[in-house]
Amino acid sequence: MVNFIFGIHNHQPLGNFGWVFESAYDRSYRPFMETLEEYPNMKAAVHISGPLLEWLAENKPEHIELIRSLVKKGQLEIVVAGFYEPVLAAIPKDDRIEQITLLKDFAKKLGYDARGVWLTERVWQPELVKSLREAGIEYVIVDDYHFMSAGLSKEELYWPYYTEDGGEVIAVFPIDEKLRYLIPFRPVEKTVEYLHSIDNGDESRVAVFHDDGEKFGVWPGTYEWVYEKGWLREFFDRISSDERINLTLYSEYLARFKPRGLVYLPIASYFEMSEWSLPAKQAKLFVEFVEKLKGQGQFEKYRVFVRGGIWKNFFFKYPESNYMHKRMLMVSKLVRDNPEARRFILRAQCNDAYWHGVFGGVYLPHLRRAVWENIIRANGFASTGSFVRDIDFDGRDEVFIEDENFYAVFKPAYGGALFELSSKKKAVNYNDVLARRWEHYHEVPEAATPEEEDGDGVASIHEVGRKIPDEIRRELAYDDRMRAILQDHFLDPETALEEYRLNRHIELGDFVTGAYDYSLFEGGVTLERDGTVSGRPARVEKSFRLAEDGFIVDYTVGSEVKALFGVELNLAVHSVMEQPEEFEAEKFEVNDPYGIGKVGIELDKKAKVWKYPIKTLSQSEAGWDFVQQGVSYTLLFPVDGELRFRLRFREL
């Protein structure tokens, strides 16, 4: 007989649309639990994230009662994590304990004293042991890939082990990767056959499945397969009645057996994450390498040595994510002792907006907007004033300016541009704009996953190769810079909007990413650079100050070369789908009713304005997402000698 632990993880990101919660509830969460209730001999370990629990408690209280009932009957073991589903390795120790305690308290209200942790995205770091033990956790669930990365063979992965750090010890259960690809995508018989195949008479052997509950109805094709075609009922029936399978729970297993011994797991996540977290060029090579090994029939033999990146690489891969993360850490420290502010900063630690794999993640503006809203609201409890410091740990100082209404953060070393303009009143960051990047899957049709080809059942989203539609490919463009407010361009007077928006133009100057000198004054900063335009001397000086309703900046530009001088403002317009447009104006309005709201741009002289949407191509569970990350507004003035003008940005 072989022991089998069956678990699910249900989660919706902070800031996700209400209709997404509703659809996932109807297609997965509700029918799954209602079906489970019909099989009293079936039991499961379940983790439900805080954002989803809050939504259920408010909108579906009957579901909370069903969970409580299943716990009371002994059919459910509740496994916790950080309440707002942070990657625990990416937040301070005190925040980890606070997050876990919040969810443990919620579990107690459901009638369960939780002792186990579902590790968000299975991102493991050895020093987590101390935090978990301090939070009262006795076991944690990771992937078998973690153990293989430590040198264990597949045959050694049918038991939990102990791991230790600094004298603290915790039990770790390995999730069986093969089961992740069998359940629920292949016929039930294949799972039963696999479980039978690992029964060698050792009664302590255990196989663990613990994966996304959304695979049971939300992922493409799964609702029909799992419910309408009866996969789940057949699965529950077969698993709960098979005499060779002992259905158990983590706590029940640990009450009966001791973990097998001591292991030391390296920093790791699941195998797919090691592909996604690599920079795009290296990710492409990683996929090619895995496919080469598969083609040679060598992958299974050598896969324990095949490792890509780690989760924290996303902060290198996406500088916008890194900046958001470091602002979160900054504010977390500032509000450490403020209970009212704590809830906001804990929400801002929700993992989804900080990275990207097969789901939209960092590419979804509404998820980033939710994180920024909570950072800004938490920051409101701790005034800092103005200071100069390396906020995002890139080795270069930022200039942070605060008044009663705004936070403004400049990067003098990167074009002297404004990389955060956050409104306290609206709780939005006007520069929450992601640059257009080439991703490896724009060329690589399939991920480097270890699944086996099989025509039966329904395809996992990891197995689906996709071709970019021609209408999207025609509009694809990639940036060679980050997007900010007050980025300074020198362009050939013959440059057209079409060249500019597709990044096929030539920069005559070295100002967009060049370093600016700076000096602070009360409520503002002056930034200046002596650079070149077409190899000849040029100078830009911009004096910025916050105003009650926005900011005012005075520009002085000198160029010996006849050119167009452009000031670019990249604004986080997410809810109004814009088209490229060229017009002349001294003032104009931007209206994004479900995003940044309404703002006005005012000049003291008429300018040509180029407007275009910044659209990125990312993969998601549904296919391709061509997402508007913001809108670029570039104000253009002819310069031949000296140019002076004033720009005013106003909240309306």
User: Active-site residue numbers?
Assistant: 121, 212
Tokens representing 15 are: 């800031």
**C-beta separation of 365 from 336 below 8 A:** no
Asked if 491 and 505 count as a contact pair (C-beta separation under 8 A), the reply is yes
Q: Can you read off the two tokens belonging to residue 245?
A: 């399978």
Angstrom distance (rounded) from CA 201 to CA 217: 35
Instruction: Please name the amino acid found at residue 446.
Output: E
Contact 159, 259 (CB under 8 A): yes
Torsion sign over Cα 130, 133, 138, 141: negative
Q: Are 387 and 525 in contact (CB under 8 A)?
A: no
Side-chain half-sphere exposure of 519, counting CA atoms within 13 A: 5
Q: How far is CA 207 from CA 177, 196, 240, 589, 608, in A?
A: 10, 11, 15, 60, 65
- Cβ(155)–Cβ(123) below 8 Å: no
CA dihedral 326→331→373→545, nearest 10 degrees, is -90
Contacts of 115 (CB under 8 A, 6+ apart): 136, 137, 138, 139, 251
Rounded-to-5 percentages of helix, strand, coil across the chain: 35, 30, 35
- Give residue for tokens 């509740």: 78
Phi, psi of 382 (to 5 degrees): -145, 100
Number of H helices, E strands in the chain: 21, 22
Q: How many CB atoms lie within 10 A of CB 503?
A: 12
Closest to 29 (Cα-Cα) out of 14, 50, 9, 57 = 9
Q: Answer for the pair 346, 304: CB distance below 8 angstroms, yes or no.
A: no
Query: Which ranges in 244-305 belong to alpha helices (H)?
Result: 250-256, 271-276, 280-295, 299-302
Before 31, cis peptide (omega within 30)? no
**Nearest of 610, 641, 628, 613 to residue 505 by alpha carbon:** 610
Task: Extract the tokens encoding 335.
Answer: 């509000």
214: nearest Cα among 15, 5, 24, 18: 24
Q: Concatenated DSSP letters for 209-240?
A: EEEEGGGTTTSTTHHIIIIIS-HHHHHHHHHH
State the sign of the Cα–Cα–Cα–Cα dihedral 373, 375, 378, 382.
negative
Give every CB contact of residue 189 below 8 A, 6+ residues apart in sequence: none
Nearest one of 438, 435, 401 to 420, comparing CA atoms: 401
Indicate the Cα dihedral angle 235, 238, 242, 247, nearest 10°: 30
Q: Which residues of 553-572 are buried (b: 16+ CB within 10 A; e: fewer)?
A: bebebbbbbebbbbbbbbbb
DSSP summary character for residue 517: E
| Torsion angle (degrees, nearest 10) of CA 133, 137, 140, 146 | -10
Neighbours of 136 (CB within 10 A): 14
